[in-house]
């Protein structure tokens, strides 16, 4: 699951949109410094990642990568998943993709200080919305892989592993509704626990 899928899942579980993205930034188990709704979103992000990695559909996709490329399978599948979701967005949401991306990006940017507190960069709403929208286009996914590769000491292996990402996206698309439904159901106990008190049910917009 990449940014767009995590935001979609946060929306469906009524948890913090910003927390869903902070889960990629925050390190460590101690979340006591964060507001409860953000801490819950971070925990939800981590739980979704763990459950997704163990899902039979994802394991089957990983097994299709060559041995040398398998270390990059997670990155490739995450972005392929966002493309599959964005490309068939109307099947997953009544809200237009562009509207959701803008609304989610604004919600994330409003919590910029917590991204900086975690050691990340303060998100810019317009740039983040544009990034989310770009996942609907193959060129947007290609650019995402190029950006990630530039941050690596040896970019070639990632780019080689990602060269077949459209095939993985197609494989994901058919089973995506079931996968997403299972993830929503799987985290229901976390979102309905005592941690989710009356003042943490929704992200404050």
Q: What is the pLDDT of residue 197?
A: 46
Distance between the two ends of the chain, CA-based, in angstroms?
24
Is residue 203 within 8 A of residue 107, CB to CB? The reply is: yes
Closest alpha carbon to 4 in 61, 83, 75, 76: 83
pTM, two decimals, is 0.90
pLDDT at position 88, please?
A: 95
Location of structure tokens 């966002």: 82
pLDDT of amino acid 187: 82
pLDDT average per 10 residues of sequence, the chain (205 residues): 96 95 96 97 95 94 91 96 97 97 98 97 97 98 97 95 95 92 85 48 30
Q: Which residue has the tokens 């971070």?
A: 42
Residue 193: predicted pLDDT: 60
Q: Indicate the burial class of 6 (C-beta count within 10 angstroms; 0-12, 13-18, 19 or more).
A: buried
pLDDT the model gives residue 172? 93
């Amino acid at each position: 699951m990449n940014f767009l899928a995590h935001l979609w899942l946060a929306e469906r579980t009524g948890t913090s949109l910003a927390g869903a993205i902070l889960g990629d930034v925050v390190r460590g188990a101690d979340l006591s410094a964060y507001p409860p709704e953000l801490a819950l979103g971070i925990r939800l992000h981590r739980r979704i990642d763990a459950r997704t990695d163990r899902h039979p559909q994802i394991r089957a996709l990983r097994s299709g990568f060559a041995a040398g490329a398998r270390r990059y399978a997670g990155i490739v599948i995450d972005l392929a998943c966002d493309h599959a979701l964005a490309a068939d967005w109307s099947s997953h949401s009544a809200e237009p993709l562009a509207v959701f991306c803008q609304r989610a990006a604004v919600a994330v940017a409003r919590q910029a200080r917590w991204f900086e507190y975690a050691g990340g960069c303060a998100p810019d709403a317009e740039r983040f919305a544009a990034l989310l929208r770009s996942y609907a286009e193959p060129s947007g996914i290609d650019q995402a892989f190029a950006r990630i590769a530039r941050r690596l000491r040896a970019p070639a292996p990632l780019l080689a592993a990602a060269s077949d990402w459209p095939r993985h996206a197609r494989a994901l698309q058919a089973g995506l509704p079931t996968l997403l439904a299972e993830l929503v159901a799987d985290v229901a106990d976390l979102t309905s626990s005592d941690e989710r008190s009356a003042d943490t049910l929704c992200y404050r917009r």
